Structure 1
């Protein structure tokens, strides 16, 4: 009852959801180990959490969800463990492709990463899920499989270098848009919020182009992924909102400093920023800028 009361409080506090949430689902194996079970049992419990998170994202208005499901480094795990995980992923992808919640929510499924390294049966399951949900656009679910952020960036850079060598691209034409176009086909927008479960405070080479370049907010929490609850998800959303409010306040104060330093008549754009973010400035600062702008208008 206490948890549900806390959830309701958080739901009232959440005002605007991030467009793109990325999740590092850490702790499946430790969750199983603490319960004396096999790693595959932890992965299966984690898959159940994933299904719930889809609903939570849809409820608060998240438009894109990216899950770090299997990294390139995970290939170093014992083969028998990976085989069980691949079998589970195969099963869950096919279940997701037929699940009512996926079709009711109009979820589009897409795998990102070096998927050619995956077993054939899993590649077939990926293709089936992508094809089955290709007509949807309400919520995009990206599943990072055989994914590594550094490998993604290296691949884009090498692809651009080959284009230059073959005469299809001039060096001065290589910009952010050109690199973005050569990344894995998957995320359609920059990441606003990264969530990592399991207690570790690092982002582990996950979506560096889409997250770091956008200065995404990061929420670390201690529950293992199978134990990740709605209250944890809402706390993450609240962290994002607090960061966004802080960013707006900082931008407004910078614009205000420019107005004072140069004069509002010469910095219309800065004045417009101050007006846009008035609600984030303390009353004393607002009174001062209004007084300064009034004096400037009188002088003109």
Structure 2
């Protein structure tokens, strides 16, 4: 009886905390990338087979997609299988392939995926995967190609360095063939040679399992955008909605910090330029005014009459 009351109290406390976090979230990232780490360690902790950890991790992945849909997040990239994972025990590797195949087909046929307008794509060196997995990829991509409300990228046989190396080689080949002038190589020249999949830069990287590193994941889309990162200790099968909401809160805090920093830099610029240029600078600074702390905002309004 007493144990039941404690368990019920914990559930109520968890629900209240989740609700509080939901109320605190005022804006969400467009693109979240997730490193789903800890399935094997979770299984060892519970004294079960490794396959059980991967199976429960797949259930967490399904829950994550529901959370993203609820929060109107437009793109999710999941680190499902890296190129390094080919070095794992063959039996475990085959189990992961079976699970990936099953989940891709299940997602592609799920009513909620079609109702939510989820477009599924695989990114990585997919030619390295077994035929059955490649067939499942083709099936999932074909069934959801017409949607664009939520883009789901599944990184399979993926390595960030390999992706950048492949793009660099293609650029070099184009230059060597005379199709591209070295002076004309741009950001777009590289991006169009990356894996087809991500449609926008990564705003937030989430990693479970306790490690604080991004493991060669989406270096162009994430590091180039200076994405916020959230590292947490729960293993992936233990990851809950409150953890995800805390990750989003980290993203929001970082965005606010960046806005404040940019606003302060703009203020310094206004104070440094000649008086003749102030009208132009004031218009620029006005865009950042709301990001300043209240005291500095009031001082700015008084000095430059930027407020309406």
Report the TM-score, using the length of structure 1 for normalisation: 0.95
Structure 1 residues 287 and 75, CA, compared in 2 at 3 Å: closer, same or farther? same
| Deviation (angstroms), 1:287 | 2.8
User: 5 Å matches for 1:183-198?
Assistant: 183-198=194-209
SS of residue in 2 equivalent to 1:142: strand
Secondary structure of the residue aligned to 2:79 is: strand
The residue aligned with 2:9 is none
1:65 aligned partner? 76
1:264·1:293 contact (CA, 8 Å) conserved in 2?
no
Q: State the match for 2:117 in structure 1.
A: 106
* CA shift in 2, pair 1:101/1:260, >3 Å: same
SS in structure 2 opposite 1:37?
coil
Matches within 5 A, 1:198-213: 198-213=209-224
Change (3 A) 1:113 1:229: same
Which aligned segments of 4 or more residues in structure 1 are displaced greater than 3 angstroms? 267-270
Give the gaps of 5 or more residues in structure 1: 296-300
> In structure 2, what is the equivalent of residue 260 of structure 1?
271
Q: Of 21, 24, 48, which aligns to 2:35?
A: 24
Alignment partner for residue 281 of structure 1, among 285, 289, 292? 292
SS in 2 for 1:137: coil
Matches within 5 A, 1:1-300: 1-263=12-274, 265-268=276-279, 270-294=281-305
1:168-221 per-position Cα deviation (integer Å, ceiling 9, x unaligned): 111111111100110000100000000000000000000000000000000000
SS at match of 1:69: strand
Aligned counterparts of 1:248 and 1:272: Cα–Cα separation in 2 = 16
Distance in structure 2 (CA, Å) of the matches to 1:269 and 1:235: 40
- Classify the secondary structure of the residue corresponding to 1:26: coil
Task: Rate the CA distance shift 1:90–1:294 in 2: closer, same or farther, 3 A.
Answer: closer
Q: String of CA shifts for 1:103-159, please: whole Å, max 9, x gaps.
A: 111100000000000000000000000001111110000000000000000000001
**Coordinate RMSD, CA, aligned:** 1.4
Q: Could you list the runs of 5+ residues in structure 2 that have no partner in the other structure? A: 1-11
SS in 2 for 1:67: strand
Select between 188-197 and 262-271 the one with higher mean Cα deviation.
262-271
Alpha-carbon shift at residue 26 of structure 1 (Å): 0.2
Name the CA distance, whole Å, in 1 between partners of 2:141 and 2:276: 54
Query: What is the alpha-carbon distance in structure 1 between the residues aligned to residue 236 and residue 273 of structure 2?
Result: 52
Q: 1:6-42: per-residue Cα shift (whole Å, max 9, x none)?
A: 0000000001110000000000111111111121111
The answer as to whether partners of 1:192 and 1:216 remain within 8 angstroms in 2 is yes
Supply the distance in 2 between the matched residues of 1:268 and 1:67 (Cα, whole angstroms). Answer: 47
Q: 1:22 to 1:294 in 2, by over 3 A?
A: closer
Shift of 1:5: 0.3
Deviation at 1:294, TM superposition (A): 4.8
Between 1:101-110 and 1:275-284, the stretch displaced more is 275-284
